[in-house]
Amino acid sequence: MKSIIRWCAGRPVAVIMAIAAVMLAGIASAARLPLGRLPEIEVPRLFVEAALPGLPASDIRTLVTVPLEDALSSAKGLVRSSSISTDGRSILTLEFSWGEDIKSAAGRVREILDSAYIALPEGATKPRVLSFDPGAEPLMTVSIAHSGGDLAFARRFAEREVKARLRRVEGAGQVLVAGGTEREVAVAVDMKRAAARGLTVYAVEELADLVAPGPSGPFRLGDIADVAKRNAPRKSLFVVDGEERVAIELYKRTGADPVATARDARSAIEKMATEFSPDLRIEILDDSSLPIAASIRNLAAAAAAGAVIAAAVLFVLLRDATGAALVASSIPVSVFATLSILGIAGKSLNGMSLGGLAVAVGMISDNAVVVIDALSSEFESAEERPDAEAVADATVTVVGGTFGSTITTALVFLPIVFLPGALGALYSDLALAIVAGTVSGWFGAVLALPSLYRVSWTPRPARKRDGLEKAYLSVLAKALRKPRMVILSAAVLALIGTAMTIAMPVVFMPDGAVSSLVVRAVFPRGTDPDGMSREAEMLTASLRAVPGTSFAYGRCGAAADDCARPADPSREADCLCIT
């Protein structure tokens, strides 16, 4: 180790170039790292959806759900499965063991479903496999209202125009449409007129002027049936401030930057709002990327302020502007080195990784202070600039102690990086940031600081002890004269701390700041969205009148391509959620 330190101390230009390279790599990584409130957690859970229109829930359970459950029970790594059968639709939830590659599991499930599909009744759709997103809350919620109150037109516009544009946004995942009405063609067949032409009734979905062949010659559908357009039964309802509207819910793709995705989506939405005004009102009701960006900025500002305060305290305690500047310079270098490591590891800038960086800042300066103190004690009264050999000799005296402290910290946090399950996924970013920060700080302290100290060395008189050092020596002398009292005091404090720790509540995650409230209105069982619309309008209008409320919007039901809500047992079909 001494030879490496001597080599670095003798080549300050190479060391400065290496520091510059680390800083540039860190800046580039910081620009590319995605932002997030918490790390991405890949929950090993899949949804399987199959449909057989026209059948009640009991028949769906018997003819579709049970055969699929039996077939999927042999899937490798499957821990448990559950299912929900509704009219015309079956949704299965498959949970796999932690650590299972969810993409490989999805491939195995699709192979099983290809074989099981043959045994399903005629008319059943081919089962599809969907992954589960633990942060299954929309990144952005947008409302669309027609100036004339035409909900059917607003729904068609949302599905054909808005949905298509948002899907082109970089990082966008699923785009769901809720609320509004859909038009359908109702065909009421006159059995007597059909029988007169020798016809039987089968599925008809064409218009009244459709000409069809029959046993007695061609005929118009309108001759045997009444054909009319009407509003289809609604599967979902969306109300904003007492007015029915259509909602667009944008979800981000797994691994995408929510802040960048929301920024691009916001730009597309504002462009559409201008383009289609005044016929359509397009408003952003909720953007979850805003609190994410704000929390990241606040945490980064707190970490930067902590680094500045640490540098100021070092200057006051060391009473050496050059030494304090060298110690302070080790903090940003180590931080940027840590950002490079986070980028290589595929992590993101989130509350956990930034929290780990903030914790590591103090540990980074510890090693730097020890090295600078050793060098200052050795050379502060020297008459000429020390050579590389002398600097290496002085540094080596503290390498063992600083390495022991650093490796102890690394060994404490390193196992968390490889911890399986949700805890490992959540806290691995924190542990990696602390380990990378302390290790890079140690390398910077024992390799870069001696070289920089040698370059910046200037002769100055020997430092005298100040009042703080004298007070510490006095307290230390008293403590050494009464070791039993010191040990007893430490034991009492440890017991008090243990008791306080046991008494503290245990939670998985602390409660964050609340900017919205959710009101659940439960309707009588079996109430459909049409039966909730009037009460929903009244409730949202009343809540909007509360002072300080920006929006009050509520929704019930689920879109046809939304599997997460119907598969969640905690979400009741006859419940209206108002935010």
3-state SS of 289-335 is HHHHHHHHHHHHHHHHHHHHHHHHHHHHHHCCHHHHHHHHHHHHHHH
Residues 71-118 pLDDT 10s: 888 888 888 888 888 777 888 888 888 777 778 888 888 888 888 888
* Mean pLDDT rounded to a whole number for the chain: 76
Strand partners, 283: 143
Better-predicted residue by pLDDT, 334 or 385: 334
Q: In the predicted model, is pLDDT for residue 496 greater than 80?
A: yes
By mean pLDDT, which of 97-106, 217-226, 320-329, 429-438 is the weakest? 217-226
Residue pair 372/327 in contact (Cβ under 8 Å)? The answer is yes
Query: Which pLDDT score is estimated for 203?
Result: 39
Minimal CA–CA distance to 573: which of 525, 531, 520, 535? 525
Query: Which pLDDT score is estimated for 209?
Result: 55
Task: Please name the residues in contact with 373: beta carbons below 8 A apart, sequence gap of 6 or more.
Answer: 318, 323
207 falls in which pLDDT band (50, 70, 90)? very low
Q: Mean pLDDT over residues 31-54, rounded?
A: 78
CA atoms of 216 and 146, how far apart (whole Å): 48
DSSP alpha helices (H): ranges in 141-224?
151-157, 163-167, 191-196
Better-predicted residue by pLDDT, 42 or 414: 414
Query: Which pLDDT score is estimated for 101?
Result: 76
Q: Which residues of 58-86 are buried (b: 16+ CB within 10 A; e: fewer)?
A: ebbbebbbebbbebbeebebbeebebbbe
Q: Mean pLDDT over residues 264-277, rounded?
A: 86
Q: Mean pLDDT over residues 476-504, rounded?
A: 84
Q: Mean pLDDT over residues 387-410, rounded?
A: 78
Sign, Cα dihedral of 270, 272, 275, 276: negative
Query: Which pLDDT score is estimated for 205?
Result: 46
The token pair that represents 100 in the structure block = 């299972």
C-alpha angle 296-514-262 in degrees, rounded to nearest 5: 45
Q: Mean pLDDT over residues 115-133, rounded?
A: 79
Name, of 41-45, 317-321, 385-389, 401-405, the range with top average pLDDT: 401-405
Minimal CA–CA distance to 142: which of 218, 249, 46? 249
By mean pLDDT, which of 44-48, 141-145, 251-255, 277-281 is the weakest? 251-255
Helix, strand, or coil here: 510? coil
Q: What percent of the chain has pLDDT over 90?
A: 0
Amino acid at 381: S
pTM across the whole model: 0.68
Query: Which pLDDT score is estimated for 265?
Result: 87
Query: Which pLDDT score is estimated for 227?
Result: 61
CA atoms of 87 and 184, how far apart (whole Å): 18
Query: Which pLDDT score is estimated for 437?
Result: 84
Helix, strand, or coil here: 96? strand
Q: Mean pLDDT over residues 350-369, rounded?
A: 78
177 falls in which pLDDT band (50, 70, 90)? confident
By mean pLDDT, which of 92-106, 212-226, 257-271, 375-389 is the weakest? 212-226
**Cβ neighbour number for residue 313 with a 10 Å cutoff:** 12
Strand partners, 140: 250, 287
Which secondary structure element, helix H or strand E, spans residue 128, and what is its range? strand 128-131
CA atoms of 431 and 435, how far apart (whole Å): 6
Query: Which pLDDT score is estimated for 500?
Result: 86
139 falls in which pLDDT band (50, 70, 90)? confident
Q: In the predicted model, is pLDDT for residue 558 greater than 60?
A: yes
